[in-house]
């Protein structure tokens, strides 16, 4: 009987999973997950996220058992473990989704391809939904995304037959992986739990999501991000579930569209990284990295510890470390917190992205790094609209936490103050004074960004100004945290899938690439909008409320 290894990575589910479905159609399946030292000891690894991943693996194992199978766990370098597993099990070959979340994975997979080819062993790579090797214009990618999301879902196999003699290591605890577990509460990682979050969203949040997604105290968002990060549920299942909901009010309809748009943003960031893996390590334009970041260890520490003297910033800092951020640290609070470091303290966004990744339960390299770079103003190239310097004073409290619930929960030193004093509290014994002057810091950053942007803003061909993939691929932060980066020392490693070769792009391709990095790119109307939107005169849109945080 044919045997196929299915290699799970960040697609820890049985539904809407083409490699598993196809393998089960062929015969026996060997579903394997490999604990890889290089990822477990990457400088951006968060023990809390690993703990959540272990819960996801337990959920995947249970789903496979419900179909007669089980998950096989192994340890080591996949380019050694997998060829060995093929020989041990007499498998035909390996099925796996392509993965381009980070550079390490692409180096690993290129090496695996080489090792397998040298031994005449086979692997079949499957494209994840909404992923393409082709260089599309962004509006075309958007249409492609909708088409992929509306395509038929791949069913879960009804049976998964795993050969009885194949042994698995037991599911470890975080400490067994030589990581220091912390006190962050870790949610259930099963697909059932992810689907329940969608149900709860429909029952309890959809009427308010669009209007409250910037209020951390409201917890109005889905909470799906850790599940999407590890692929416990596919974006296609989320979109199709959401699309099926009938009889929604006008308000709920607006929320539905907003949620679908956000799911698309997530896929779009991943696609940008597929084209340009250098975005993991560098700003989009090289001038931003070459000219003028500042660094001060004490200020960096104060920002991490929640000791800046700006209560909303400090609440974000403490919430991130205590909870892994997935429920309360919504987009706007993350943006405000990140802007404080890179724009107001003038520190390299990579220090912030590193800290986020070391704590976020949903830490996802393309979303995290790209969002950090975006909030720092070093991605989009058109004009000042992408200078996102958030006011962390009373404006932020009024717009994001008007009753002070979030701030008071995380910064008890200011819990006795009325909301109107939470922006800039009076001098307190046990709470620091502000570590910077907002207006002065803002002016300094605006001037710096204006100057840096002049280097490329009016050039017709932007390609020469884009950062290239560096020859040294050592991850940022490996000098601060003990990590295993031997893989990055190999001379000229290959990447799979291949990135765009910037030097080989013609002008038309260069223009297509540019559409991914300009705001307000002309986008055709979508096909899935079921109703025409009416804009209420009285109620400001959430975008309006959020962007008004950029005020002085």
Does 335 participate in binding ligand FAD (rule CB under 6 A)?
yes
How is residue 141 written in tokens?
């990618």
Q: Binding site annotation covers 224?
A: yes
* Residues 183-242 contacting ligand FAD, CB under 6 A: 213, 221-225, 228-229
Binding letters toward ligand FAD, positions 9-38, x by CB under 6 A: ------------------------------
Does 380 participate in binding ligand FAD (rule CB under 6 A)?
no
Alpha helices in 182-330 (DSSP H): 191-200, 209-212, 225-229, 235-244, 250-275, 286-290, 297-305, 311-323
- Single out the segment in contact with ligand FAD by CB under 6 A; choices: 114-122, 146-154, 313-321, 370-378: 370-378
Instruction: Supply the minimum distance, in Å, between the C-beta of residue 269 and ligand FAD.
Output: 6
Instruction: Supply the minimum distance, in Å, between the C-beta of residue 330 and ligand FAD.
Output: 5
Q: Binding site annotation covers 430?
A: no
Which one, of 220, 217, 222, 223, lies nearest residue 409 by Cα?
A: 217
Of the pair 465, 481, the CB lying nearest ligand FAD is at 481
Of the pair 304, 371, the CB lying nearest ligand FAD is at 371
Q: Confirm if 116 and 122 have CB atoms less than 8 A apart.
A: yes
How is residue 401 written in tokens?
């936490």
| Residue 362 backbone phi and psi in degrees, to 5 | -100, 15
Of the pair 325, 425, the CB lying nearest ligand FAD is at 325
**Rounded CA separation 416/422 (Å):** 10
Residues in the chain: 552
* Residues 245-264 contacting ligand FAD, CB under 6 A: 259, 262-263
Question: Given candidates 55, 212, 330, 391, which one binds ligand FAD under the rule CB under 6 A?
Answer: 330
- DSSP H or E run through 113: helix 103-118
Q: Binding site annotation covers 28?
A: no
First to last CA, the chain: 69
**Which strands sit side by side in the sheet containing 28-35, from one edge to the other?**
72-75, 28-35, 3-8, 93-97, 123-126
Taking each helix axis as running N to C, give the angle between helix 297-305 and helix 349-357, from 0 to 180 degrees, rounded to the nearest 10.
Answer: 40
Instruction: Supply the minimum distance, in Å, between the C-beta of residue 349 and ligand FAD.
Output: 9
**Rounded CA separation 196/13 (Å):** 15
Query: What number of chain residues touch ligand FAD (CB under 6 A)?
Result: 29
Binding letters toward ligand FAD, positions 338-367, x by CB under 6 A: x-----------------x---x-xxx--x
Question: Given candidates 19, 43, 187, 266, which one binds ligand FAD under the rule CB under 6 A?
Answer: 266
**Rounded CA separation 2/62 (Å):** 24
Binding letters toward ligand FAD, positions 56-95, x by CB under 6 A: ----------------------------------------
**Rounded CA separation 284/466 (Å):** 6
**Rounded CA separation 439/444 (Å):** 9
Q: Binding site annotation covers 27?
A: no
Does 331 participate in binding ligand FAD (rule CB under 6 A)?
yes
Q: Binding site annotation covers 221?
A: yes
Q: Binding site annotation covers 223?
A: yes
Question: Given candidates 210, 211, 273, 372, which one binds ligand FAD under the rule CB under 6 A?
Answer: 372
- HSE value, Cβ hemisphere, 13 Å, CA-based, for 537: 0
Interface residues with ligand FAD (CB under 6 A) are 213, 221-225, 228-229, 259, 262-263, 265-266, 269, 330-331, 334-335, 338, 356, 360, 362-364, 367-368, 371-372, 375
Binding site residue list for FAD: 209, 221-225, 362-364
């Amino acid at each position: 009987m044919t045997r196929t290894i299915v290699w799970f990575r960040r697609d820890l589910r049985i539904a809407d999973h083409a490699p598993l479905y196809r393998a089960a159609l062929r015969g026996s399946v060997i579903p394997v997950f490999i604990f890889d030292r290089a990822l477990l000891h990457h400088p951006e690894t968060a023990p809390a996220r690993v703990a959540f991943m272990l819960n996801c693996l337990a959920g995947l194992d249970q789903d496979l058992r419900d179909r007669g199978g089980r998950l096989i766990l192994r340890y080591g370098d996949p380019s050694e473990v997998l060829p060995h597993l093929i020989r041990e099990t007499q498998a035909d070959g390996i099925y796996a989704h392509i993965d381009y979340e980070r550079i390490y994975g692409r180096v690993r997979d290129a090496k695996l391809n080489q090792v397998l080819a040298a031994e005449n062993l086979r692997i079949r790579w499957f494209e994840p939904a909404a992923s393409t090797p082709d260089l599309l214009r962004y509006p075309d990618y958007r249409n492609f995304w909708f088409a992929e999301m509306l395509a038929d879902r791949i069913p879960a196999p009804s049976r998964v037959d795993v050969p009885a003699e194949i042994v698995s290591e037991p599911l470890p605890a975080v400490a067994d992986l030589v990581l220091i577990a912390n006190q962050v509460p870790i949610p259930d990682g099963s697909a059932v739990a992810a689907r329940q979050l969608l149900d709860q969203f429909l029952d309890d949040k959809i009427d308010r999501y669009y209007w409250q997604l910037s209020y951390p105290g409201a917890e109005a968002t889905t909470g799906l991000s850790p599940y999407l990060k590890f692929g416990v549920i596919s974006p296609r299942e989320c979109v199709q579930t959401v699309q099926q909901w009938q009889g929604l009010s006008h308000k709920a309809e607006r929320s539905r569209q907003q949620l679908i748009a956000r799911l698309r943003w997530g896929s779009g960031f991943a696609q940008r990284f597929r084209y340009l893996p250098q975005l993991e390590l560098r700003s989009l334009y090289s001038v931003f990295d070459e000219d003028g970041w500042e660094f001060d260890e004490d200020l960096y520490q104060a920002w991490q510890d929640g000791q800046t003297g700006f209560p909303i910033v400090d609440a974000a800092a403490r919430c991130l470390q205590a909870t892994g951020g997935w429920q309360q640290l919504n987009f706007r609070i993350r943006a405000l917190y990140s802007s404080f470091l890179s724009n107001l303290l003038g520190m390299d966004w990579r220090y912030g992205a590193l800290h986020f990744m070391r704590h976020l339960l949903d830490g996802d390299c393309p979303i995290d790094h790209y969002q950090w770079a975006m909030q720092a103003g070093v991605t989009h190239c058109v004009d000042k609209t992408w200078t996102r310097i958030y006011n962390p004073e009373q404006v932020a409290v009024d717009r994001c936490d008007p009753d002070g619930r979030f701030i008071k929960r995380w910064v008890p030193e200011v819990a006795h103050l009325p909301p109107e004093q939470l922006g800039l509290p009076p001098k307190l014994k046990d709470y620091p004074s502000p570590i910077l002057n907002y207006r002065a810091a803002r002016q300094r950053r605006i001037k710096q960004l204006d100057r840096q942007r002049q280097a490329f803003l009016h050039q017709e061909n932007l390609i020469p100004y884009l950062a290239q993939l560096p020859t040294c691929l050592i991850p940022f932060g490996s000098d601060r945290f003990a990590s295993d980066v031997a893989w990055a020392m190999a001379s000229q490693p290959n990447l799979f899938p291949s990135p765009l070769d910037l030097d080989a792009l013609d002008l038309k391709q260069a223009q297509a690439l540019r559409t991914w990095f300009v705001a307000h790119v002309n986008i055709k109307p979508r096909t899935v909008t079921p109703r025409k939107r009416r804009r209420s005169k009285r109620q400001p849109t959430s975008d309006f409320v959020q962007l008004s945080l950029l005020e002085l």
